[in-house]
Amino acid sequence: MRHQTKKKAGKVITTMAILLLGFLFIAPLLWMIIASLKPETMIFKDMGLAAFLPKEITFSNYAQILFSDRIHFFHYMWNSLFSVSMIVIFGLIVNSLCAYALVKLKFPGSDLILVLIIALYVVPFESMLIPLYIVVNNFGWINEYPALIVPFIASAFNIFLFRQFFMGIPKELEEAAMLDGATPWQTFWRVVVPNSKPVFATAAILTFVTHWSDFMWPLIVATDESIRTVQVGVQYLFTDNNIEYGQIMAALSLTTIPVILIFLFFQRYYVQGITSSGVKG
Amino acid sequence: MKKLLVLSTAAMLSIGALSGCGKEDNKSAEGSNGETKLTLWYPEGNTSAAYQEVIDAFNKEHDGEIEAEIEFIPRGNKYAYEDKISAAATSNTLPDLVAMDGPNVANYADAGIIQPIDGMIEEQDQFVDSVIKQGTFEDKLYAISPMESTVALFYNVKMLEEAGITPPKTLEEAWTWDEFYAAAKKLTNKEKGIYGVNWTLDYGEWIIYFTGPTVWSNGGSFIAEDGSKADGHVNGPKTVEALKYLQKFTKEGLVNLQPTPTEFEDGKAAMMLMGSWEWAKLKDYPDTEWGITYYPKSPNGEQVSPSGDWAWGVSTSAKDKEAAAELLNFIHTKENVLKLAAVEDKPPARTDAFTELAEWDKEPLNVLKDQVLETAHPRPLTTSYPVLSTKYGQAVQNIFLGGDVQEELDKVAKEVDTDIDRKN
Amino acid sequence: MEKTVTPIQVERKTLTYETQKRWLGIAFSLPALVLLFTFLILPVMLAFGYSFMSYNMLNPDGKEFTGFDNYIRLFQDGIFLTSLKNTLYFTALVVPIQSAVALGLAILVNKKVKVASLGRVFFFSPVVTSMVVVAILWTFLYNVDSGLINHALNFFGIENQPFLLSADQSMNSIIFMSVWQAAGFQMMIFLAGLKEVPEELYEAAEMDGASVWQKFRNVTLPSISHVTGFVLIITTIQAFRLFIQPYVMTNGGPSDSTKTLVFMLYENGFQFRDVGYSSAIAVVFFFIVLISSLILKKILKQ
């Protein structure tokens, strides 16, 4: 009985902590959404706590973005969704396979390759922008989808991440599969993948977020209206002068929605991993 | 395994197909009946729609001969547009006509990415001096722009009336430094949280653009006339004096160092040093009465105002120079200049265009017209401009926060001179 | 890809499990390695070459070999030392703080309470919020006169602090904000790690009457050590790459107090279009980070 109440108290404290801390983290996102619903002239009028309490709500900022004849917001959104999804899907396959090979299917030179991959993560993208542009230009991909997708499928970060988690998979699980006569491919597909759902979800979320917010690269390789991404698209709002902050906030709110949805979608894979399911299996 | 292979092969193929059809589209657009194709880059903004109309009209007029296509490049909040040009230059993928901010002309011309357009411009004498000066490098014209810009002192009419301050109405009467400082001091009300002046402290090109006239008006400069040396100019006594004057405002709290973007509009600042484009924005606030007066002048010199807008140049990768000239002239006809300038109430860069605009003869826009026609000063022409503008901007930032003026400007001179030496 | 796989399928019966493993290992890693080579190693090699050249971005045909000139200039450049110092300071503080905060948040949202999944969204939200909005808001929060943080300090009797406007406080202000913004990223990695910790271990510890701290110390930490090591290395590398926050919030100032190595690299490469010098910074940066990561790895092993 006492144990029960103690547990209950713990739950209440945890709940309170999450909600209180959570507000500190979500406040800017909240402010952005609230600001997007305010008339332009009201946005910066009060920057205290009152900034979170709109006196007047308007959807005109959204209307101006969604029904503009100058920009094609839905089209940009589609371009971003398409290219980033491609990066995520192919990235998950290519990088997890590579990590699995490096950790579990050791072949000559695999250790050296691993070190090299981790070292590559160190290179800041800013220093590669121009050389990478030259490479991609040689493929003739300027203003075409592959320029947005192909260079980012293989990722040193993701290989390293997968490697770290695959290492934690108990040998016994694989040995059991092997004794059942499974090929290494079957072992990967039937043992490793199902037991690594959380790390696949993490890799998917982090990859999606990283490339969803990319701006510099898409701007340089893809300015053509037909493949412009949403991050580049909303930059039209940042003109030299007379910036309309209400519209900016509305546009940024809209671009945040897909990321939150993706996040919620992958959350359900945060189930208890390895041992519980492994033991059952 | 097989499934995966099929899947990934299919995907690779689909990516290839996507790129393939992109290419075909380009080819078919490239004029089937031998017409010249011209491409243009311009920063995305409120004028985009008007520009598109101008280009459409041009294509209609030259149907079957020349076809122009304009691409609007997002500007980002800093130098994204310039970065895009750099990337294109380094892989020879520049468009035929490229728009650039005025001070970049020297840098681009020197690197050989734009070519001279001497003698190609019709009615060149109609363009205001500042535009021609800004577009000229080593005695050759490289760029021209349909519009101009300037910075003036905007004010809240009611606040100035209440304080008993009458702002000047003619160019001759423009406030001197002391008068401007006195007004700002009187208008600052710390209890009410009202600042005398608002000026933006953005980190891009703005700092050198808006502080320039203070320096020039005092007889100072940023760099030697021939662009060979910054030492003794950007850190010369006249320039130092000018920045010490501006520093007084921040030191004494007459200017908010961290203002909201709409501090002036919200009635939290009485005056604002801002670009001419601000007038269009103030129309969103019809309940307050707004006025404009001249950029204040140094007691030691003439009134000076800043200038410069997006200018057009012809890139060196343009093959058909004649067609490019045709298009350049089409953009800069009086009618089109008027059309483009009207979008954001920008001052046109042609004197004959001004005569059509009756509104610019009346208060308060006459202030902007006077400045553009009489006192506009282009930013320095030097191949080291990017270094100068960036380092000067950072130095002024430090000066406004209380840094030593001479010391900060000495550092700028050193950096710029290193850059000049390296380029020669 | 198909070529390497087909023989395996044909000869499956004759191949031992071990040989099969080796061939599959190569086949599995090949797509990633080919892509990495083309889009990462090749550009890096190009950049390495440029670091020995004088190369104006606008004039690629005019580039010429200048030997070690860029490196000599770099080691004489006062801003390089300042940037290096700032970057090291940022990294040294951000890595432990951010990792600890991230682990704390991960443990919190790994608890079986109803609001846990909501908490994940909340804590992760700064990662997805546009830097534009983040910069605007934090500049207001840090405002010397009217910022909410100063209001809060006043409440405790502390006078107004200049934060971003002071060379002494600007880097600390950026550190605080960065931890807030990026902790959600590491939280997700920790969370995936925590999901691997078998429930049974906690149950066993509870049977032994272990306190919350003891459970953390003796069960959680040892079970996720491989994840912790990963997070520390990743965070270190990311911290070294600090650029966007000072770029939009302080422009490297005041008095270069928030100028970092990547900031310097970007400024020289793009704003000043000096590709050669920028590449030399990148090469030196690469070795500094690599050595730091290796040292960190050594420490972690012990």
**Domain extents for chain B?**
34-148+308-369, 151-306+384-423
Using DSSP, state whether A126 is helix, strand or coil. helix
CA distance linking residue B348 with residue B356, whole number of Å: 11
End-to-end CA distance of chain C: 41
Q: What is the pLDDT along chain B (424 residues), one digit of tens a residue?
A: 344 444 444 444 444 444 433 333 333 334 445 788 999 999 888 888 899 999 999 999 999 899 999 998 887 666 778 888 988 888 888 999 999 988 899 889 998 999 999 989 999 999 999 999 999 999 999 999 999 999 999 999 999 999 999 999 999 999 999 999 999 999 999 888 899 999 988 777 889 999 999 999 999 999 998 888 999 999 999 999 999 999 999 999 999 988 888 899 999 999 999 998 888 889 889 999 999 999 999 998 899 999 989 999 999 989 899 999 999 999 999 999 999 998 888 899 999 999 889 889 998 999 999 999 999 999 988 889 999 999 999 999 999 999 999 999 999 999 999 999 887 7
**Whether the Cβ atoms of residue A106 and residue C25 lie closer than 8 Å to each other:** yes
Q: Please list the pLDDT of chain A residue by residue as tens digits (281 residues).
A: 566 777 788 888 899 999 999 998 998 888 889 989 988 888 887 766 777 888 888 899 899 888 877 778 899 999 999 999 999 999 999 999 999 998 888 778 888 888 888 888 888 888 888 889 889 988 989 889 999 999 999 999 999 999 988 887 888 888 888 788 887 788 888 888 888 888 999 999 999 999 998 888 898 888 788 888 988 888 777 766 667 888 888 988 999 988 888 888 888 887 655 443 333 32
Strand ranges (E), B175-296: 195-198, 269-275, 290-293
Tokens, residue C76: 């004489």
Phi, psi of B278 (to 5 degrees): -60, -30
C-alpha distance from C92 to closest chain B C-alpha (Å)? 26
Angle formed by the axes of helices C131-141 and A245-267, nearest 10°? 110
Residues of A in contact with C237 (CB under 8 A): 121-122
pLDDT given at position A3: 67
Q: What is the pLDDT of residue B25?
A: 39
Are A241 and B277 a contacting pair at CB < 8 A?
Answer: yes
User: What is the residue whose two structure tokens read 């800043």?
Assistant: B306
Contact B15 A47 (CB under 8 A): no
Cα distance between residue C176 and residue B254, in whole Å = 30
In the prediction, which pLDDT does C90 show? Answer: 96
Confirm whether B34-148+308-369 and B151-306+384-423 share one CATH topology. Answer: yes
pLDDT reported for residue B31: 46
Strands (E), chain C: 53-54, 64-65
Phi, psi angle pair for B173, to nearest 5°: -90, 5
Q: How distant is the alpha carbon of residue B65 from its chain centre? A: 33
Mutate: best of A193, A239, A247, partner B, most B CBs <10 A? A239
ipTM rounded to 2 decimals = 0.86
Question: Could you tell me if A158 and A120 are in contact, meaning their C-beta atoms sit under 8 angstroms apart?
Answer: no
Is there a contact between C105 and C183 (Cβ–Cβ < 8 Å)? yes
Q: Are C232 and C296 in contact (CB under 8 A)?
A: yes
- B368 burial (CB, 10 Å; 0-12 / 13-18 / 19+) is buried
Q: Are B166 and B159 in contact (CB under 8 A)?
A: no
B83 and chain A: CB distance < 8 Å anywhere? yes
List the single residue in C39, C143, C243 with the smallest CB-CB distance to A126: C243
**Residues in C touching A130 (Cβ below 8 Å):** 47, 57, 269, 275
B310 DSSP β-pair partners: B101
pLDDT in tens, C159-196: 888 898 888 899 999 999 999 999 999 999 999 889 88
Angle between the N-to-C axes of helices B104-111 and B385-400, in degrees from 0 to 180, rounded to the nearest 10: 150
Q: Are the CB atoms for B276 and B365 separated by under 8 Å?
A: no
B297 neighbors B176 (Cβ within 8 angstroms): yes
- Two tokens, residue B9: 């092969």
Q: Residue C187 corresponds to which tokens in the numbers above?
A: 């939280």
Q: How far is CA B289 from the centre of its chain?
A: 27
What pLDDT is stored for residue C144 in this prediction? 82
The distance of Cα A110 from the centroid of its chain, to the nearest Å, equals 28
Token reading at C135: 């910069």
User: At the topology level of CATH, where does B151-306+384-423 sit?
Assistant: D-Maltodextrin-Binding Protein; domain 2 (3.40.190)
The two three-digit tokens of residue A171, written as one number: 């040998």
pLDDT tier at C14 (50, 70, 90 boundaries)?
low
Strands B114-115 and B310-315: antiparallel
Query: What tokens appear for C295 in the block?
Result: 């040292």
Residue type, B277: W
The mean pLDDT value of chain C amounts to 87
Whole-number Å distance between alpha carbons of B408 and B398? 7
Q: Is there a contact between B217 and B297 (Cβ–Cβ < 8 Å)?
A: yes
Contact call for A43 and B262, based on CB within 8 A: yes
The reply to whether residue A130 touches residue C269, judged by beta carbons under 8 angstroms, is yes
Confidence of residue C298 (pLDDT cuts 50, 70, 90): confident
Contact in structure between B385 and B345 (CB atoms under 8 Å): no
* C-alpha A168 chain-centroid distance: 24
The nearest CA of chain C is from the CA of B69 a distance in Å of 23
Q: Which of C88, C96, C3 is nearest to C261 (CA)?
A: C88
Place of tokens 């691997």: C196
Instruction: Supply φ then ψ for residue A105, to 5 degrees.
Output: -110, 55
**pLDDT score of C248 more than 70:** yes
Domains of chain A, each with CATH number or no CATH: 2-58 (no CATH), 73-280 (1.10.3720.10)
Neighbouring chains to B with at least 3 Cβ pairs closer than 8 Å: A, C
CB B279 within 8 A of CB B365: yes
Backbone angles phi, psi at A88, to 5 degrees: -65, -50
Whether residues C58 and B108 touch (CB distance < 8 A) is answered with yes
pLDDT of residue C40: 92
| C255 interfaces chain B, CB cutoff of 8 Å | yes
Distance from CA of C179 to the nearest CA of B (A): 23
Any CB–CB contact under 8 A between C33 and chain A? yes
Q: What is the 3-state secondary structure (H, E, C) of C184-209?
A: HHHHHHHHHHHCCCCHHHHHHHHHCC
Q: How far from chain centre, in Å, is Cα C114?
A: 31
pTM of the predicted protein model: 0.87
Q: Give me the CATH code for the B34-148+308-369 domain, please.
A: 3.40.190.10
Q: Which positions in chain A touch C133 (Cβ < 8 Å)? A: 28-29, 31-32, 249, 252
* CA dist., res. C252 & res. B204, Å (int): 12
Would you state the structure tokens that stand for residue B75, as one six-digit string?
């500007």
